Amino acid sequence: MTSKGMPIDYHTHNYRCGHAVGTLEEYVLSAIDQGLEQIGLSDHMPLIHVSPEEHPDIAMSMEELPRYVEECLRLQEKYKDRIAVRVGLEGDFIEGYEEKIEAIVNGYPWDYVIGSVHFLGTWDVTDFRQVHQWEGRSVIGAYEQYFDAIQKAAATGLYDYIGHVDAIKRFGFRPEEDATPLENAALQAIKQHDVAFELNAAGIHAPCKEMYPSLRMLERAKAYDIPVTFGSDAHHPDKVGQKGTDARTMLKNAGYAQIATFERRKRVMKPY
């Protein structure tokens, strides 16, 4: 069987993070059923700057991290003749906590690490339970803080690609001011530090109703010649590869002929 969408899916979660369902093996089997060539397992890095008790069901616990990696490696070996399983991590960028992040990144045999910005301080801008924090807040100010964090994440050298690069738009809050200069500065930093980024399908099902990033931002990324990969951001095994056909069309419309894949922290460009 051959996938009709994208041949890879590098952004998936599982029950360990508390807000996804399904085991790692169920995600692998879903990818096999769809004919994917590669499946990336990339659960959320443990929280390091806020209390898990105050922010429940956001990320796996620190105690689970080694067990997560061990299971990923076991599945990689078990299914090596049927699909390439990549061992990944969605590693939050938290300014001021770079050493703790680096210890996690360097402590395990990852194939890739996604650099994602979820938090502005202690506010998780992607958590529907915290949408009320937009009240009374400058939208453009939040965008400035968010895209500044994207630039800083790209500069750390800790990440292989940037995840959902404009996820700040998730709940439909958009500034009246033109945010294009902020987006461009983020893209320029990604390019400068030779980091890739992802086309993330999950935004289609969010209030913003478009992928991360938008087509116009994707086209600008192509103009900067920034490598792109693909992730469904699946939180259920049935969502593996979601919107892959739409993503393929979007990438082709933006001018991309290849996608980035990763193995042992090395980027390999492949046609799709």
Rounded Cα gap, residues 267 and 216, in angstroms:
25
Rounded Cα gap, residues 205 and 49, in angstroms:
29
221 in any annotated domain: yes
219 in any annotated domain: yes
Paired tokens of 63: 């105690």
Domains held by the chain: number: 1
Q: Work out the angle between the directed axes of helices 180-192 and 139-155 (0-180°, nearest 10).
A: 10
**Full pLDDT tens readout for the chain, 272 residues:** 445 799 999 999 999 999 999 999 999 999 999 999 999 999 999 999 999 998 999 999 999 999 999 999 999 999 999 999 999 999 999 999 999 999 999 999 999 999 999 999 999 999 999 999 999 999 999 999 999 999 999 999 999 999 999 999 999 999 999 999 999 999 999 999 999 999 999 999 999 999 999 999 999 999 999 999 999 999 999 999 999 999 999 999 999 999 999 999 999 999 99
Whether the predicted model's global pTM rises above the 0.75 cut = yes
Paired tokens of 95: 């300014």
CATH number, domain of 151, equals: 3.20.20.140
113 in any annotated domain: yes
Rounded Cα gap, residues 188 and 221, in angstroms:
9
What range defines the domain where residue 245 resides?
8-271
Rounded Cα gap, residues 11 and 89, in angstroms:
9
> Do residues 76 and 68 make contact, with C-beta atoms less than 8 angstroms apart?
no
